[in-house]
Amino acid sequence: NESAPQESESNQIVSCSKIHIPSNHLGGFNRSNANDGRLLSSSPGAGTGGTATGNNKPAPGPPEEQQTLLAVLQFLKKSKLAESAEILRREAGLPEDALDPKGTDASGSGPGLAAGSGQVDGVDASSLLSRVTVSSSAAAQAPKKAAAGEDQPDVSVVLSAYSQQGDPSLYDAYYSGLKRFIESVLDCHRAELSQLFYPLFVHMYLELVYNNNESVAKAFFEKFSGDQECYYEQDLRILSSLTKKEHMKGNETLLDFRTSKFVLRISRDSYQLLKRHLQERQNNQIWNIIQEHLYIDIFDGMPRSKSQIDAMSGSLAGEARREANKAKVFYGLLKEPEIELPLDDEDEEAENEEGKPKKKKPKKDSMGSKSKKQDPNAPLQTRIPLPELKDSDKLDKIMYMKESTKRIRLGSDNLPSICFYTFLNAYQGLTAVDVTDDSSLIAGGFADSTVRVWSVTPKKLRKVKSAADLNLIDKESDDVLERIMDEKTASELKILYGHSGPVYGISFSPDRNYLLSSSEDGTIRLWSLQTFTCLVGYKGHNYPVWDTQFSPYGYYFVSGGHDRVARLWATDHYQPLRIFAGHLADITCTRFHPNSNYVATGSSDRTIRLWDVLNGNCVRIFTGHKGPIHALAFSPNGKFLASGATDGRVLLWDIGHGLMVGELKGHTDTIYSLRFSRDGEILASGSMDNTVRLWDAMKAFDDLETDDFTAATGHIHLQDNSQELLLGTYMTKSTPVLHLHFTRRNLLLAAGAYNP
Amino acid sequence: MSAPKTIPKDAQVMIQILKDMGVTEYEPRVINQMLEFTYRYVTTIIEDAKIYATHAKKSSVDADDIKLAIQCRMDQSFTSPPPRDFLLEVARQKNQSPLPLIKPYTGPRLPPDRYCLTAPNYRLKSIQKKVAPSVGRISVPRLSVGAVSSRPTTPTLGTTSVQSVSTKVGAPVSLTGQRFTVQIPPPSQMTTTKTSKNQFFPLMSAGRCMRAAGSGCLGVNLYRVLGCSKQDSDTRSELTSCLSPQLHRPLQRCPTSSSTRL
């Protein structure tokens, strides 16, 4: 049996043998003739149906299959599996030299993408099927990857995903038939099954376009696009401009949409209904499409209501699978180092943990752990390497604790005062703002590629003296830190030149020595705030970088941009340490978790992903926004995440369980800034509608039904209590709010550019 | 939008396109910019297509030529980010290596100098003419900002000169269009003034420009006082060596300057 030596070599070969399934072996699927050379003839999308047993006698049939075989052959050669390649060539009857690299444009199709299976239902082989990767270690990793990277198939050099599913002119009929069916089912199922409409519509339309049935596609579009949900309007508009196959090539997001599986969560009953209906019919083309392009995450339980579904849907790839949100996330905070306050401090008596009456322990804030035991939800101190505290950091911490004792406790009855910094004469050029943690400096990034730093306090900004001058100062004096500053350069404003494109992201380092700025020119620059010059330019993204942020402990920073990946950098490495890939569209917002072990990224594909810094895995996917996400904020206790998007809603997420726990409606335009107060009681949101709104975060997180059922099925029942949670709305004079910052004493600072 | 004056047809089409794509709010300049872009793009494509047609010895341009032209231009000017699968693969490889340990504090944590923007990005021109050394005199390059006239007296020796240099310069100089002169004050060095001037001036102006522009060079602080009791070439080499910025180790001295310490 010739499959045996193949199979014995490595896992990859197992996949190879399975590829040779001629189309008619797939149980029950009415594969049509013009098989466009797909690598995977229907690897099961929803865990049904099957990869038939390996049949390694392929019919060297239609040229499309030839291409598949050639691609496999090429892959084998690349992986240096010469014997298997030989065997394959012999069996498939391929000519000796038939190995020209097909590349991504074979047979004139667009970039080839295997209709990936990538799903996690334990079928390792099928997941391997889709991974025609080069390195042979990939095979060993693929099962692991199947668990971790469940929503992405790896691409290969093989061809694309849209074979003809039957007669194009019948698509109309199929779709209408499905519509009729869904309208006829019971109410409780209808909402769930209506989720099918949008992905089916898009995929059918794209298939028609891909196979050059332009007029049919247009008619199809016109007839059914109106039926779709309103929150898909943007996508539909983009689709409407896509009428030819060539148009599809340039659109990365759409390509990703085609290859990633759109995830739907449907209850078992509804699913059974649907399946029965579709399989009864003669031409179950729709069933085929569902198999290939949709991933139906079935759960047992009550079907969801329309409002529940609406709350969670809206993203480009459907919802998140349950498995995607199952990994353990250490959302607790790292322990604060023990620092002794100077004894002459006038603080109130502190707790004496060790029973030493002489020492005054620093007063920890309520979020810190008073016990010596490790918080089970907190990561280990050494989980990721963090820079150790310097003396200046310790001094900063002491300042921090002193200030925090003077912090105002906020609450629904005690709202913060808001101090608004308006940038005048910016002419819509203000694109990014950041404030230092101790609120002493404000930096603005502008569309004219400058970064400007202002001092908010009366203390001016000074540069360090030149080296020769520094030689002359008395290094032993107490105020050496003052002496190194050059008085001649004192000014309130410093302008930093260097970028060659608008500056879209700005972040101060926690020790106030550095400033990061990310720009449309694809670089991230590190500026020194002591000399006010540029130190490093980090190149990696070759496309606009929309956001960047320093880690709460300094040293690391994260950046996200148009190339759909977020990168983790360290200031002393010129290349990124981690690459977080997985989003389908650009990453518009990146934030570190307070314990610096996780990074949250919000994207134009309307999802938020939480990434683990340690190994780069995506540990949470949050869907529910209906527009690109522009604001993210972690609560100070690390348990919750708030997000704001262009749809004007603020959504609250429980990180530990991976669920949406709140929805705050009120804003009417894009929300660009979100910030929790220092103790987490108030959430402030600023938006393009020129208002700052304050929400009661304590109450929002107070009564959560996180029982097992909810956690298991991911159902949420959101109360519509936005009105109760809204504590105040503060209007500005036509100044969109770009940035919010709570000072250490809980005064709210806001910044924006006057835009009459 | 119906303005009293007639809008050209192209602009009307563009307005309609914007409306169809859902863009409702835009500045009026956008229409012009879009039209310009359209014109430029189309003409570029058509010109390319003409070239391809003549290359293929065809008498007229046909659809295939246009398609080819579009494809070539697409790869050139409208590059799109890498495909997702590639990114996933790259990410997988990158994420395999563990996070590097952080060395204890050794100064600012920056990449190796090669990857930083802290090196000087200029070089001094070589001066052939030798300068007679003036023993014991120290020439102090002074900047007088904005004033062309020469200053009558200039201190020459000792640390006091440092102070006076600094005091001569007032508020931070923002450079656009300011003239500054370098004066080498000591009259005994008149003969050498010219050459010294040439020597220092490019340094000063270049450095100043850099500092104002901040374009990637750690602004070399030009109030550095240089002792040059040696030959010019030595001075030059001192200059270049001293000017490798050591800003984060501020107390480290230039290797040669110790001998010429004021």
**Residues contacting residue A734 through CB under 8 Å, at least 6 positions apart:** A690, A754, A755, A756
* Banded model confidence at residue B1, pLDDT cuts 50, 70, 90: low
What is the per-residue pLDDT across A332-376, written as a single tens digit (0 to 9) for each? 888 887 776 654 444 434 433 333 444 444 444 444 445 567 778
Q: In what order do the strands lie in the sheet with A556-561?
A: A545-550, A556-561, A565-570, A578-581
What's the rounded mean pLDDT across residues A740-750? Answer: 94
DSSP per-residue letters across A266-307: EEHHHHHHHHHHHHHSS--HHHHHHHHHEEEEEE-SPPPPHH
Distance CA A138, CA A133 (A): 7
Among A472, A579, A584, the residue with its CB nearest the CB of B90 is: A579
Where residue A379 falls among pLDDT bands split at 50, 70, 90?
confident
CB atoms within 10 A of CB A375: 15
Q: What is the pLDDT of residues A499-511, one digit of tens each?
A: 999 999 999 999 9
User: Do the Cβ atoms of A468 and A500 come closer than 8 Å?
Assistant: no
Residue A241, min C-alpha distance to chain B (Å): 8
Most confident range (mean pLDDT) of A13-27, A320-334, B85-99, B174-188 is B85-99
Does A726 lie at the interface with B, CB-CB under 8 angstroms? no
In angstroms, what CA-CA distances link A599 with A550, A634, B72? Answer: 11, 10, 39
Burial label, A594 (beta-carbon count in 10 A; 0-12, 13-18, 19+) = buried
Identify the pLDDT of residue A712. 56
**Over 60: is that where the pLDDT of B180 sits?**
no
Residues of A in contact with B92 (CB under 8 A): 138, 141, 145, 149, 616
Residues in A touching B251 (Cβ below 8 Å): 470-471, 475
| Among the ranges given (A24-33, A223-232, A337-346, B53-62), the one the predictor scored with the smallest mean pLDDT | A24-33
Q: Which among A155, A466, A616 has CB closest to B91?
A: A616
Which is nearest to A636 in space by CA: A672, A598, A595, A678? A678
Strands A748-753 and A418-423, bridge-based pairing = parallel
* pLDDT in the model for residue A309: 82
The whole-angstrom separation of Cα A732 and Cα A689 is 9
Question: CB distance from A560 to chain B under 8 Å?
Answer: no
Highest mean pLDDT range out of A253-267, A319-333, A481-495, B37-51?
A: B37-51
* Burial tier of A455 (Cβ tally within 10 Å: 0-12, 13-18, 19+): middle
Q: How far does B3 lie from chain A, in Å, by closest CA?
A: 23
Which residue of chain A is at minimal alpha-carbon distance from B17?
A241
- Say yes or no for a CB contact (<8 Å) between A469 and B170: no
Mean pLDDT of A398-417: 89
B73-119 per-position pLDDT tens digit = 888 888 778 888 899 999 999 999 999 998 887 788 899 888 898 88
The whole-number pLDDT of residue B130 equals 58
Q: What whole-number distance in Å separates Cα of residue A310 and Cα of residue A307? A: 5
Is residue A704 scored above 80 in pLDDT? Answer: no
Name which of A230, A235, A427, A469 to mutate to probe chain B: the one with the most chain B Cβ atoms within 10 A of its Cβ.
A469
User: What whole-number distance in Å separates Cα of residue A748 and Cα of residue A439?
Assistant: 10
Minimum distance, in Å, between the CA of residue B141 and any CA atom of chain A: 14
Instruction: Give dist(CA B224, CA A130) in Å, integer.
Output: 64
Q: What pLDDT sits at residue A340? A: 67
Q: Which residue has the tokens 């989003």?
A: A583
pLDDT at res. A436:
95
Closest partner CB to B214 (pick from A234, A496, A562): A496
Give the C-alpha separation, A729 to A322, whole Å.
36
Q: Name the residue with higher pLDDT: A207 or A493.
A: A493
Mutate to test the interface with A, among B71, B79, B85, B215 (most CBs of A within 10 A): B85
Residues of B in contact with A613 (CB under 8 A): 99
Compare all CA atoms of chain A with the CA of B100 and give the residue at the minimum distance: A385
At residue A151, does pLDDT exceed 80?
Answer: no
Of the partner residues B91, B170, B251, the one whose CB lies closest to the CB of residue A580: B91
Q: Judge contact between A547 and A431, C-beta under 8 A.
A: no
Window 379-418 of A, Cβ < 8 Å to B: 384-388, 390
Per-residue CA distances from A493 to A185, A211, B13 (Å): 66, 59, 46
- State whether A385 and B213 contact (CB < 8 Å): no
| Residues of chain A found within 8 Å of residue B222, distances taken between Cβ atoms | 466
User: Of A57-66, A336-345, A365-374, A574-583, which one has max mean pLDDT?
Assistant: A574-583
pLDDT for residue A121 is more than 70: no
Is A562 in CB contact (< 8 Å) with chain B?
A: yes
Asked whether residue A748 carries a pLDDT value surpassing 90, the answer given is yes
| A30 has pLDDT over 50 | no
Answer yes or no: is pLDDT of B136 > 80: no
Q: Which residue of B has its CA nearest to A235?
A: B21
**Cα A57 from Cα A52, distance rounded (Å):** 13
Q: Is residue A256 predicted with pLDDT exceeding 80?
A: no
Chain A residues whose CB is inside 8 A of the B78 CB are: 250
Of A564-578, A664-678, B155-169, the least confident: B155-169
Compute the half-sphere exposure of residue A203: CA atoms within 13 Å on the CB side of its CA: 32
Amino acid A447: pLDDT = 95
Q: How confident is the model over B25-58, as pLDDT tens digits?
A: 898 999 999 999 999 999 999 999 999 999 999 9
pLDDT on residue A73: 79
DSSP states along B16-78: HHHHHTT-----HHHHHHHHHHHHHHHHHHHHHHHHHHHHTT-SS--HHHHHHHHHHHHHHH-
A168 pLDDT more than 90: no
Q: Which residue of B has its CA nearest to A154?
A: B85
Question: Is residue B156 scored above 70 in pLDDT?
Answer: no
What distance in Å separates the CA atoms of residue A522 and residue A603, rounded to the nearest whole number? 17
Residue A711 pLDDT class (50, 70, 90 cuts): low
Tell me if B166 and A488 make a contact (CB, 8 A cut-off).
yes
CB-nearest partner of A536 from B78, B115, B257 = B115
Nearest to A131 by CA among B158, B85, B67: B85
Maximal C-alpha separation, chain A: 92
> What is the token pair recorded at A295?
């991933």
Kindly state the average pLDDT of the residues B141-164.
42
**Least reliable range by pLDDT among A262-276, A362-376, A583-597, B81-95:** A362-376
Task: Indicate whether A741 pLDDT > 60.
Answer: yes
The predicted pLDDT at position A636 comes to 93
Average pLDDT of chain B is: 65
Minimal Cβ distance to A564: which of B84, B93, B213: B84
Candidates A78, A535, A562, A597: best to mutate against B (most CBs of B within 10 A) is A535
What does the pLDDT read at residue A29? 37
Let me know how many helices (H) and strands (E) chain A has, helices first: 22, 31
| Averaged confidence pLDDT in chain A | 76
Strand partners, A590: A601
Contacts of A237 in chain B (CB under 8 A): 21-22
pLDDT above 50 (res A262)? yes
Q: Residue A89: what pLDDT?
A: 80
pLDDT-wise least confident of A261-275, A347-361, A445-459, A545-559: A347-361
| Cβ–Cβ under 8 Å, residues A114 and A39 | yes
The listed range with the strongest mean pLDDT (A146-150, A160-164, A545-549, B231-235) is A545-549
Pull the structure tokens for residue B193. 């003034």
The neighbouring-strand residues paired with A740 are A750
Contact criterion met (CB < 8 Å) for A564 and B22? no
Residue B160: predicted pLDDT:
39
Give mean pLDDT, residues A716-725.
78
Average pLDDT over residues A80-106: 63
Q: Identify from B247, B248, B254 which residue to disrupt to test chain A contact, counting A C-beta atoms within 10 A and taking the largest count.
A: B247
Q: Identify which has the larger pLDDT, A319 or A1.
A: A319
pLDDT value of residue A367: 40
Q: Which of A165, A118, A166 is nearest to A144 (CA)?
A: A118
Taking residues B150-160, report their average pLDDT. 41
pLDDT at A315 over 50: yes
Enumerate residues 6+ apart whose C-beta is below 8 A from A487.
Answer: A462
pLDDT band at A25; cut points 50, 70, 90: very low
- Residue A651, chain B, CB below 8 Å: the answer is no
B121, B90, B115, B124: which is closest to B202 by C-alpha? B124
A385/B99 CB distance under 8 A: yes
Task: Give, in degrees to the nearest 5, the angle at Cα B39 between B34 and B44.
Answer: 125
Q: Is the pLDDT of residue B162 over 60?
A: no
Residue B135: is its pLDDT beyond 70?
Answer: no
Per the CB < 8 A criterion, the answer to whether A509 and A490 are in contact is no
Q: Which of A305-319, A416-430, A626-640, B244-258 has the lowest mean pLDDT?
A: B244-258
**Section A553-562 average pLDDT:** 94
For chain A positions 5-64, those within 8 Å of chain B (CB to CB) are none
**Does residue A383 sit in helix, strand or coil?**
coil
Asked if A520 reaches chain B (Cβ–Cβ under 8 Å), the answer is no
Q: Can you tell me the distance from the alpha carbon of B191 to that of A245, in angstroms, rounded to the nearest whole number?
A: 77
pLDDT at residue A471 greater than cutoff 60? yes
Q: Is the pLDDT of residue B243 over 70?
A: no
**CB-CB under 8 Å, A385 with B101:** yes
Find the helix packing angle between A214-224 and A197-210, rounded to 10°. Answer: 160
- Beta bridge pairs of residue A578: A568
Tell whether the model's pLDDT for residue A45 goes beyond 60: no
For A393-413, give the DSSP string: HHHHHHHHHHHHHTPPPPBTT
Residues A603/A586, Cβ–Cβ less than 8 Å: yes
Q: Say yes or no to pLDDT of A192 above 80.
A: yes
Backbone angles phi, psi at B176, to 5 degrees: -60, 115
Instruction: Dihedral sign for Cα A654, A660, A661, A662, please.
Output: positive
| A250 closest CB neighbour out of B80, B93, B94 | B80
- Residue A158, pLDDT above cutoff 80: no
A156: which chain B residues are within 8 Å (Cβ-Cβ)?
85
State ipTM: 0.70
Q: Are A93 and A130 in contact (CB under 8 A)?
A: no
Tokens 């072996």: give the residue.
A25
- What is the structure's pLDDT at B187? 46
The span from the CA of A318 to the CA of A605, in Å, is 10
Measured distance CA(A26)–CA(A700) in Å, rounded:
51
Q: How confident is the model at residue A630 (pLDDT cuts 50, 70, 90)?
A: very high
Q: What's the burial of B107, exposed, middle or buried (CB within 10 Å: 0-12/13-18/19+)? A: exposed
Number of neighbours of residue A400 by Cβ within 10 angstroms:
17
Q: Report CB contact under 8 Å: A579, B87.
A: yes
